[in-house]
């Protein structure tokens, strides 16, 4: 028996299946209270335990969380530059995780970070890198910052602004 998916995860899965399988952008219908709010959202897709796509927005860019989930689920499946687009034959092997972000808050230093609790945004001018919290293999705030710098193309000697955020993770 298939486990019951949380409505937020189910929406991400249905959005990908609709787009990849039928080339249709899903229109969210039944919205939970949380789906009606506005927030940044990341959708991660894994296949056999390995990352298959992860794209999101750290600030809301759509009317509500449901629309963020649909857009970011489709982008995660088709636009992540690290992977080829998901194809129909893979759909049954995919697992979804949706992170709904709190508003990023500036921090004064690395001592205010905790890689298990907080995600990090590193900013230098217009370049920004983001890393979600509680990721396998990322045990220190220093490692979070190093990964964020690399994602954004910010060298180790460039000054940065740090932000932290929390997530509600649905699997």
**CATH code for the domain of 152:** 3.30.1490.150
Q: Answer whether residue 171 is part of any domain.
A: no
Q: Same structural domain for residues 20 and 83?
A: yes
Residue pLDDT, tens place only, 133-156 = 999 999 999 999 999 999 999 999
Q: Same structural domain for residues 64 and 112?
A: no
Q: How confident is the model at residue 168 (pLDDT cuts 50, 70, 90)?
A: very high
* CB 129 within 8 Å of CB 152: yes
Q: How far apart are CA 154 and CA 170, in angstroms?
A: 31
Round to the nearest angstrom and report the end-to-end CA distance of the chain.
Answer: 17
| Host domain of residue 123 | 105-166
Q: Same structural domain for residues 91 and 122?
A: no
The set of residues, in sequence order, having a beta carbon less than 8 Å from that of 44 and lying 6+ positions away, is: 51, 53, 54, 76, 96, 97, 98, 99, 132
Q: Answer whether residue 2 is part of any domain.
A: no
What six digits make up the tokens of 65? Answer: 């969380």
Summary mean pLDDT of the chain: 95
Q: Answer whether residue 123 is part of any domain.
A: yes
Looking at 101, 117, 139, the residue that finishes a domain is 101
Q: Same structural domain for residues 114 and 91?
A: no
Whether pTM > 0.85 for this model: the answer is: yes
| Residue 43, Cβ density class (10 Å: 0-12 exposed, 13-18 middle, ≥19 buried) | buried
The predicted pLDDT at position 1 comes to 46
* CB 94 within 8 Å of CB 74: no
Q: How confident is the model at residue 2 (pLDDT cuts 50, 70, 90)?
A: low
Residue pLDDT, tens place only, 42-101 = 999 999 999 999 999 989 999 999 999 999 999 999 999 999 999 999 999 999 999 999
Q: Distances from the Cα of 120 to the Cαs of 72, 79, 113, 131, 139, in angstroms?
A: 19, 22, 8, 5, 13
Angle at 112 between CA 106 and CA 116, to 5 degrees: 105
């Amino acid at each position: 028996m298939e486990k019951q998916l949380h409505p937020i995860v189910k929406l991400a899965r249905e959005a990908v299946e609709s787009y990849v399988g039928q080339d249709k952008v899903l229109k969210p219908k039944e919205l939970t209270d949380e789906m009606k709010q506005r927030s940044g959202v990341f959708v991660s897709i894994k296949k056999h335990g390995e990352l298959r796509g992860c794209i999101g927005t750290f600030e809301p860019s759509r009317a509500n969380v449901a629309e963020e989930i649909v857009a970011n689920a489709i982008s995660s499946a088709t636009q992540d530059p690290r992977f080829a687009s998901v194809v129909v034959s893979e759909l049954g092997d995919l697992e979804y995780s949706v992170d709904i972000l709190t508003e990023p808050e500036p921090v004064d230093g690395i001592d205010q970070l905790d890689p298990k609790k907080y995600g990090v945004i590193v900013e230098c001018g217009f370049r920004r890198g983001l890393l979600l919290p509680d990721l396998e293999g990322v045990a220190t705030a220093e490692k979070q910052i190093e990964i964020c710098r690399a994602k954004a193309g910010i060298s180790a000697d460039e000054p940065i602004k740090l932000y932290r955020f929390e997530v509600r993770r649905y699997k």
